[in-house]
Structure 1
């Protein structure tokens, strides 16, 4: 038997003021998207903003449905639209912010597992890392230099 240790590295910023200005602008776009979320069931609102290598910014918000599995997260809404609108563009970075109408979210909230898998598909496809910044409504911001930090054992086309 052999033991394999897997580690992830995240960078934590105390608030938006510690981030580079271009990342702050992207996070503000994510916050604007969060305000457009449709979340009448969970009351959990998420916004995502993606910067592409052609300098286009694509946003998305979560869209719920009474048939719960039919809804879509903000990250996948944005990433799939980016892929459909700009299929040759690479994703440089993604900003995500989440807030609840029930409880104040002050700590960084990472993408769910399904969104991590969707982001992984694009990171593998473009053969370049995607920076991911995520936060709650306010407070600390976490940064991952690559989706591989959040999903180290990626399931991709190489296993098919």
Structure 2
């Protein structure tokens, strides 16, 4: 038997203003997208903004449906739109902001497992890491240099 240790390294910023200007702008786009979420069932709004290598910014917000779980998370809404509209563009950075309508969310909220898998697909496809920034409604912002850092044992197509 051999024991393997896996580590994740994250950068933590104390607030939005501590981020570089370009990331503040991207996160503000995610916050604006969050305000367009349709979440009458969970009361949990999420916005995502993706910066592409062609300088386009693609946004998405979670969209729920009474027929759970047929809604879609903000991250996947943005990722799939980016893939459909700019199929040859590479995704460089994604900013995510989440808030509850029931309480103030001050802790950084990372992408769910399904969204991590979707981000992983594009990170593998483009052979380029995607920087991920995430936060709650306010407070600290966390940065991961890649999705592989958040999901180190990724399921990918080479095993199919």
Q: TM-score, normalised by structure 1?
A: 0.99
C-alpha distance in 2 between matches for 1:105 and 1:88: 36
Structure-to-structure mapping, 1:76-115, within 5 angstroms: 76-115=76-115
Render the CA deviation track for 1:17-41: whole Å, top value 9, x for unaligned. Answer: 1100000000000001000000000
C-alpha distance in 1 between matches for 2:51 and 2:95: 9
Q: TM-score, normalised by structure 2?
A: 0.99
Partner of 1:127: 127
Q: CA RMSD in A?
A: 0.4
Render the CA deviation track for 1:112-134: whole Å, top value 9, x for unaligned. Answer: 00000000000000000000000
Question: Do structure 1's residue 45 and structure 2's residue 45 form an aligned pair?
Answer: yes
C-alpha distance in 1 between matches for 2:63 and 2:136: 18
C-alpha distance in 1 between matches for 2:155 and 2:19: 31
Render the CA deviation track for 1:103-158: whole Å, top value 9, x for unaligned. Answer: 11001000000000000000000000000000000000000000011100000111
Structure 1 residue runs without a partner (length 5+):
none
Render the CA deviation track for 1:29-56: whole Å, top value 9, x for unaligned. Answer: 0001000000000000000000000000
* Matched positions, count: 160
Partner of 1:71: 71
Structure 2 residue runs without a partner (length 5+):
none
Partner of 1:116: 116
Render the CA deviation track for 1:34-90: whole Å, top value 9, x for unaligned. Answer: 000000000000000000000000000000001111000000000000000000000
C-alpha distance in 2 between matches for 1:18 and 1:158: 39
The alignment partner of 2:48 has SS state of strand
